[in-house]
């Protein structure tokens, strides 16, 4: 059990990569407190919250501490990817939403979980994206949030190393989440897009979220105890260069 008895605070854990991570963490012995903006998921250990709102983050972290007495890891997974537009067509509100949810939420989780992580010598994990390094057509603002997340990850790793708090990020390329499947089904050339999403990965296929979750388990475990400041591609080699079909 790589995460036996760990208390993990996970944002965006009811769908896609986050849900696969929640399942993987629990299977490896962790107790997972999931934060979601899906009110229908509000149960004992799935808490309704908007991670762009400071009070929601403070409240759910305090709930976790009150119930379990500690936090061993924070996984900042919640995020949005829309709109699919070049920068000049992106509205100010869309920009603010992207940066508030994808980036500012990390400020809030770190602010309120820091003391607990210092006590547990825990770790922080951020779900980034390969586009934060290489960019993406028609997703300038989204790519910008992931580039910011990568810079934050490295700077936080330096700031918190004296406290033995590790900070890392995972950077997938394509992943078959419900959101991606819904988007692909709506395309006129859905079969061509599915082929494209498979072939941008040199290993030959677009994966399910479980392959990301497996790496996340490693990064939160003692097996990665000397790993910090890493932006870990989990992309089947896509960072080596997208290929045209």
Tell me the pLDDT tens digit for each residue of 146-192: 999 999 999 999 999 999 999 999 999 989 988 788 877 877 788 88
- Report yes or no on 205 lying in a domain: yes
pLDDT for residue 44: 63
CB 171 within 8 A of CB 129: yes
3-state helix, strand, coil in the chain (%, to 5): 50, 15, 35
- Report yes or no on 245 lying in a domain: no
- Report yes or no on 85 lying in a domain: yes
CB 206 within 8 A of CB 197: yes
Distance in angstroms (rounded) separating the CA atoms of residues 48 and 37: 5
CB 32 within 8 A of CB 18: no
Range of the domain at 202: 7-240
- Report yes or no on 195 lying in a domain: yes
- Report yes or no on 58 lying in a domain: yes
- Report yes or no on 184 lying in a domain: yes
pLDDT for residue 87: 96
**Enclosing H/E stretch for 237:** none
CA–CA–CA angle 197, 11, 213 (5° rounding): 45
pLDDT 10s digits, 81-106: 988 899 999 999 999 999 999 999 99
pLDDT for residue 169: 98
pLDDT for residue 98: 97
Alpha-helix residue ranges (DSSP H) falling in 47-104? 54-68, 92-99
pLDDT for residue 36: 95
- Cα separations (Å) of 178 from 19, 30, 82, 186? 11, 25, 14, 13
pLDDT band at 245 (very low <50, low <70, confident <90, very high): low
- Report yes or no on 2 lying in a domain: no
Please indicate whether residue 111 or residue 136 has the higher confidence score (pLDDT): 111
CB 233 within 8 A of CB 166: no
- Whole-model pTM: value is 0.93
pLDDT for residue 155: 98
Is the pLDDT at 242 greater than 60? The verdict is no
pLDDT band at 108 (very low <50, low <70, confident <90, very high): very high
CATH number, domain of 109, equals 3.40.50.720
- Report yes or no on 61 lying in a domain: yes
Distance in angstroms (rounded) separating the CA atoms of residues 7 and 238: 33
How many domains does the chain divide into? 1
What's the token pair of residue 56?
């929601």
Catalytic residues: 142
pLDDT 10s digits, 23-72: 999 999 999 999 999 866 656 669 999 999 999 999 999 999 999 999 99
CB 184 within 8 A of CB 233: no
Is the pLDDT at 244 greater than 60? The verdict is no
């Amino acid at each position: 059990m790589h995460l036996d008895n760990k208390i993990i605070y996970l944002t965006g854990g009811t769908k896609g990569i986050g849900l696969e991570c929640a399942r993987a963490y629990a299977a490896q012995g962790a107790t997972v407190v999931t934060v979601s903006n899906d009110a229908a998921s509000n149960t004992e250990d799935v808490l309704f919250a908007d991670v762009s709102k400071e009070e929601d983050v403070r409240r759910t972290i305090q709930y976790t501490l009150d119930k379990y007495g500690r936090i061993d890891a924070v996984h900042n997974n919640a995020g949005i990817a829309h709109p699919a537009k070049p920068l000049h067509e992106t509205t100010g509100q869309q920009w603010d939403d992207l940066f508030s949810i994808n980036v500012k939420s990390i400020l809030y989780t770190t602010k309120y979980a820091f003391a607990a992580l210092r006590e547990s010598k825990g770790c922080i994990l951020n779900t980034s994206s390969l586009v934060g390094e290489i960019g993406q057509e028609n997703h300038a603002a989204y790519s910008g949030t992931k580039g910011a997340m990568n810079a934050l990850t490295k700077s936080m790793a330096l700031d918190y190393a004296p406290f033995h708090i590790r900070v890392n990020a995972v950077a997938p390329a394509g992943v078959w989440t419900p959101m991606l499947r819904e988007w692909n089904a709506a395309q006129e050339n859905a079969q061509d897009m599915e082929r494209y999403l498979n072939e941008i990965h040199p290993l030959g296929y677009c994966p399910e979220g479980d392959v990301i979750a497996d790496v996340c388990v490693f990064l939160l475990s003692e097996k990665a105890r000397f790993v910090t400041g890493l932006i870990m591609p989990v992309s089947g080699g896509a960072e080596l260069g997208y290929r045209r079909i």
